[in-house]
Structure 1
Amino acid sequence: MPQAPQPATSAPAAPGDSGEPLGHGLKQRHLTMLGLGGVIGAGLFVGSGGGIAVAGPGIIVSYLAAGTLAMLVMRMLGEMSAALPASGSFSVHAERALGRWAGFSVGWLYWFLLVVVLAVEATGAAKIANGWLPGVPQWAWVLIFMVFFTASNLAAVKNFGEFEFWFAALKVLAIVGFLVLGGLAVFGLLPDTDPVGLANLTGQGGFLPNGWEGVVSGVLAVIFAFGGLEVVTIAAAESEDPARSVARAVRSAVWRILFFYIGSMLVIVSLLPWDSLEPGQSPYVAVLDSIGIGAAGQIMNVVVFVALLSALNANLYGSSRMIFSLAERGEAPRGLLRLSPGAVPRRAVLASVAFGFVSVLLNLLWPETIFLYMLNAVGSVLLFVWALIAVSQLRLRRRLERESPELLHVRMWGFPYLTWAALAAMAAVLVLMLRDDAARPQVLWSVGLTAVVLVVAFVRERSHPVSRVSE
């Protein structure tokens, strides 16, 4: 492996100055709500049913385990982003810590992940809208969404912040409302309800009806629902005070998200027998129906619709800033660096949305063939991204303590032991996915994609081993 470049001898950027040419239109409230709403999506509202089906009430433990891992990763990322804010976030951190190959690899893998998942979100939102207005074909809804959010991302960054703030606020309000209503129902404080006690937590096979194997399967089913938190550290570089903004956003987001997820699961499995829930159907709808909330299905359709559009908006933003950062460091075409008068990377936005349009087209035409292969190829990429974040934090933390300890506004808990524990947990998840028939294709395709990117990265590093962020 090529030697990692030595750090620059010049002093790091001062706190509050990201050193980026991009605008600084995002406010603290934008970042805080982006952190809270970034992972509250269809994976929680609908996908959690699959986790409950395999883990039963033990899904609470599954979410606790997966959420703890995500929280540790975000703490590491928060430490690095508060000290060295950059639009490329963990891609820049990886390059500083490990060399060009690492920054190139994690940046392009994450960009590809976002633009492929963007197609899933656009298509999912279009299906819901088509159900409301069947006269408008699904492809037309996709076109409307993509054009609208492209326009919002091409405008000033504060427009993205405002859209995402209100989208995320609606999702957070939906979760809070669900927790309040569900909590009242659990204690029999709603009309025509009685206290449920522990019957549904201990009946139907007990708290762990499928044993610890079910809990592990639940972790595999829900862990990727925590993806999306990373965007807040990318956005921090365009805030008024990057170092302090990301520190506050990370601190507030991780605990509250863990509370939202675990609280929701506790309400669901307390109110309903776990084996009465059908995979593929929203357990939130089932709970609202059980406590007499009329039109529960339509209410959740609106919430999921908003969640999908919010994720589409955030992913388009995150992908454009990542590829812009790659271009800044010479890892993507330099033509993508052109900025609008409002300091928005328009060509980077258009490049990301162009590939997003291709992904959507493939999803509409060949969902079971070409697009399925693409989706499998990014299925486990998030774990590789998280692993490089952890390894980068191990190296950069020691470097910062030695050279610039005043920049450590956020510190990783239990360093370095919890960082190593997180890496071990990621390795364990990958091994478990390889043993699972349904998850194995995702791992193998993702490993293949990662291997290709790494080969290109190492060839590029051999031709130019000096990191641009260290020049």
Structure 2
Amino acid sequence: MDARVVAEKSQPESHLKAGLKSRHLTMMSIAGVIGGSLFVGSGSVIHSAGPAAVLAFLTGGILMMLIMRMLGEMATASPDTGSFSTYADRAIGRWAGFTIGWLYWGYWVALMAWEAYVAGKILNGWFPAVSVNAFVLGTTLLLISINFFNVKNYGEFEFWFALIKVIAIVCFLTVSCLAVLNIWQVGEVSGISNLTAHGFVPNGIEPVVGAMLGVMFAFLGAEIATIAASESKNPSQQIIKTTKSVVWRVGLFYVGSIFLIVCLVPWNDPMLGQSGYGSYRRTLELLGVPGAEWLMNFVVLTSVSSCLISAHYTASRMLFSLASRGDAPACFKLTKADSGVPVYAIIGSCVVAVVMALINFSDTLRPRDVLDTLMNMTGTIALLVYLVIACSQLKMRRKLEASGRDIPLKMWLYPWLTWAVIVFIVVCLGAMSFMPDYQVLVISTGGAGVCLALLGVFHQMRCSRRAQRMSGTVGVGTRG
């Protein structure tokens, strides 16, 4: 008997409540993946990889589309707030669910710190008399307070924040398309000359491969809709809708906008290399759009606020799921009776995020270029998460088919595409581990993953021994 089964007999169950509406999940699926990393982080990606950065975004988009299809297949068969962590537990083993759950939780906590710092920098630019750290702390505490109430409040805030992001990026795409077609001729640039004028792959293929870390940092978050769907009515239907909309979202918002940027802005523009400057802002400046800096700062502030709330929501739900499975302290699975909110999981995630934000981004301790460092570190985590999702889907599909259960949404060309994704991720991580600019981040993040896996194996063995003792199966009742 599993230790979790024994624990369930002695402790009351805790459940989340369905409070998210269809329009909440629809807007999350459309704009949830659009974060500050797209507006802020894409500039450094373009500056290092050149116009070929569009290939990195295209490759990352295809990878994310395939991963979402795999995740959608598993989630429609069994919606769960633990999402792929739960599926890894069932398909690979408890240690795998433990490892990827804690790694994913750490990713979102780190992302909260990143988003809070970006928001603090913007607000400090508007109100320089107040320190960045004061804004970081104030922004974090203000925005995470939303998740202490009914989940529909999170859905409502995310709906309106996402709507602002969608309107902003549609306006950007419209103006940029007009400039590429030589219809908008107000600013300094038009047409597509910058796509090849300074070389399409000016620095070789290595920076393009390395750019995958920044790209994956930008893409990770699309899976939030599959986690949030467990707190809505008809979760399987919502997951199918979200998964099928991934293709046009990635093609339009990410690949499309980056393609327009590399057409209009020289890749070696020194402003793109400035940390936190932003490729979108630079594009609007060259197009002669008035108030480009203020407009993009407002959009980025909205985006990072949206992502901070989502990151806190996702981290708290993953911690709740880990606790529900016995892989985290039991207090984190307790929920408020009236709202079904996992209050202790929310508090735990918030405390760690605030500490990370104030320590990592202090003037004395933060790295010289903290945004790019954190972006690449979490990009490595994204690739590891995707690898586990692919391995889980490979095994869970066999179990679902063997059980004869209906599979509402199936992965294309199974198992060949799944194996192709696994090989691609392994090759990318292997190649990056030999690149001087990325090997420290890849190896250190991979080392953290290995340590968590070993801890997970130890945890699984300890729980198995405890379950055997509690069930009395070891040497009991075997004598006649």
Structure 1 partner of 2:281? 285
Matched, 1:272 2:265: yes
Deviation string, structure 1 residues 216-266 (Cα, Å, up to 9, x no partner)? 243344232111122221111101111111111121134312321111112
Give 1:440 deviation, angstroms: 1.1
Which residue of 305, 309, 319 corresponds with 1:313? Answer: 309
Shift of the alpha carbon at 1:86?
A: 0.6
Q: Paired residue for 2:423?
A: 424
CA contact (8 A) 2:187 2:286 kept: no
- Map of 1:79 onto structure 2: 73
> Which has the higher mean CA deviation after the structures are superposed, 262-271 or 386-395?
262-271
Pair 1:386 & 2:380 matched: no
8 Å contact from structure 2 (residues 214, 376) kept in 1: no
Residues 1:245 and 1:415: Cα distance change in structure 2 (over 3 Å): same
What residue in structure 1 maps to residue 399 of structure 2?
399
The partner residue of 1:237 within 227, 230, 242 is 230
Deviations 1:77-131 (A, max 9, x none): 1111111101101111011101111111111111111112211111211111111
1:336 aligns with one of 312, 332, 339 = 332
TM-fit CA distance, 1:302: 0.9
Corresponding position of 2:445: 446
Look up the SS of the partner of 1:464 in the other structure.
helix
Q: Tell me the distance in 2 between the aligned counterparts of 1:339 and 1:404.
A: 35
TM-score, normalised relative to structure 1: 0.89
- The CA distance in 2 between the partners of 1:20 and 1:78, in whole Å, is 25
CA distance in 2, matches of 1:376, 1:272: 23
* Partner AA of 2:35 in structure 1: G
**Paired residue for 1:15?**
none
Q: Contact 1:379 / 1:446 at 8 angstroms: preserved in 2? A: no
* Cα separation, 2, equivalents of 1:276 and 1:456: 46
**Amino acid in structure 2 at the alignment position of 1:187:** L
How far apart, in 1, do the equivalents of 2:83 and 2:213 lie? 26
| Shift in Å, 1:395 | 0.8
Contact 1:30 1:165 in 2 (8 A): yes
Aligned match of 1:13:
none
| Conserved? CA contact 1:377–1:448, under 8 Å | no
Q: Which of 350, 353, 356 is the matching residue for 1:356?
A: 353
Three-state SS of the structure 2 residue aligned to 1:149 is helix
Provide the rounded CA distance (Å) in 2 between the counterparts of 1:197 and 1:143. 44
Q: Which moved more, 1:42-51 or 1:174-183?
A: 42-51
User: Contact 1:220/1:429 (CA < 8 Å) preserved in 2?
Assistant: no
The equivalent residue for 1:130 is: 124
Instruction: Give the residue type in structure 2 aligned to 1:128.
Output: I
Cα deviation for residue 194 of structure 1 reads: 10
Q: Using a 3 Å threshold, how does the CA distance of structure 1 residues 353 and 404 change in structure 2: closer, same or farther?
A: farther
* 1:192-233 CA-partner distances (Å, limit 9, x unpaired): 47994443223223x333444453243344232111122221
User: Contact (CA 8 Å) 2:123, 2:135: kept in 1 or not?
Assistant: yes
Pair 44,374 (structure 1): closer, same or farther in 2 beyond 3 Å = closer
CA deviation after TM superposition for structure 1 residue 361, in Å: 2.2
Residue 474 of structure 2 corresponds to none
2:122 touches 2:301 (CA, 8 Å); kept in 1? yes
Which residue type is aligned with residue 360 of structure 1? A
Percent identical residues = 41
Cα pair 2:136 2:358 within 8 Å, conserved: no
Q: Residues 240, 173 of structure 1: CA spacing in aligned structure 2 closer, same or farther, 3 A cutoff?
A: same
* Separation of aligned partners in 1, 2:244 and 2:14: 24
From the superposition, tell whether residues 462 and 381 of structure 1 become closer, same or farther in structure 2 (CA, over 3 Å): same
Query: CA–CA distance in 2 between the matches of 1:134 and 1:276?
Result: 27
CA distance in 2, matches of 1:119, 1:195: 36
Which residue number in structure 2 is paired with residue 185 of structure 1? 179
- 2:57 is aligned with 1:63: yes
- Aligned match for 2:157, one of 138, 158, 163: 163
Q: Distance in 2 between matches of 1:46 and 1:195?
A: 21
| Inter-partner Cα distance in structure 1 for 2:142 and 2:350 | 11
* C-alpha separation in 2, matches of 1:212 and 1:332: 42
Corresponding residue for 2:290?
294
- Structure 1 residue 68: Cα displacement: 0.8
Distance 1:395 1:193 in 2: 54
Residues in 2 aligned to 1:282 and 1:222: alpha-carbon distance in whole angstroms: 14
**Is the 8 Å Cα contact of residues 58 and 215 (structure 1) preserved in structure 2?**
yes
Number of residues paired by the alignment? 450
Q: Could you tell me which of 241, 260, 283 is aligned with 2:253?
A: 260
- Does 1:120 pair with 2:117? no
Report if aligned partners of 2:14, 2:335 keep a CA contact under 8 Å in 1: no
Matches within 5 A, 1:215-230: 215-230=208-223
Residue of structure 2 in register with 1:322 after alignment: 318
Whole-angstrom CA distance in 2 between matches of 1:282 and 1:150:
26
Structure 1: 5+ residue runs without aligned partners? 9-18
Cα gap change, 1:196/1:336 in structure 2, threshold over 3 Å: closer, same or farther? closer
Supply the distance in 2 between the matched residues of 1:210 and 1:114 (Cα, whole angstroms): 32
Counterpart contact for 1:100–1:466, Cα < 8 Å: no
- Partners in 2 of 1:467 and 1:87 — Cα distance? 26
Does the Cα contact within 8 Å between 1:96 and 1:467 map onto a contact in 2? Answer: no
Q: Which amino acid aligns with 1:446?
A: T
**Structure 2: gaps (5+ residues):** 6-12, 472-480
Q: Are 2:240 and 1:247 aligned?
A: yes
Whether 1:111 aligns to 2:105 is yes
- Cα distance, 1:424 vs structure 2: 0.9
Shift of 1:156: 0.3
Q: Confirm or deny: 8 A CA contact 1:434 1:440 kept in the other structure.
A: yes
Shift of 1:176: 0.9
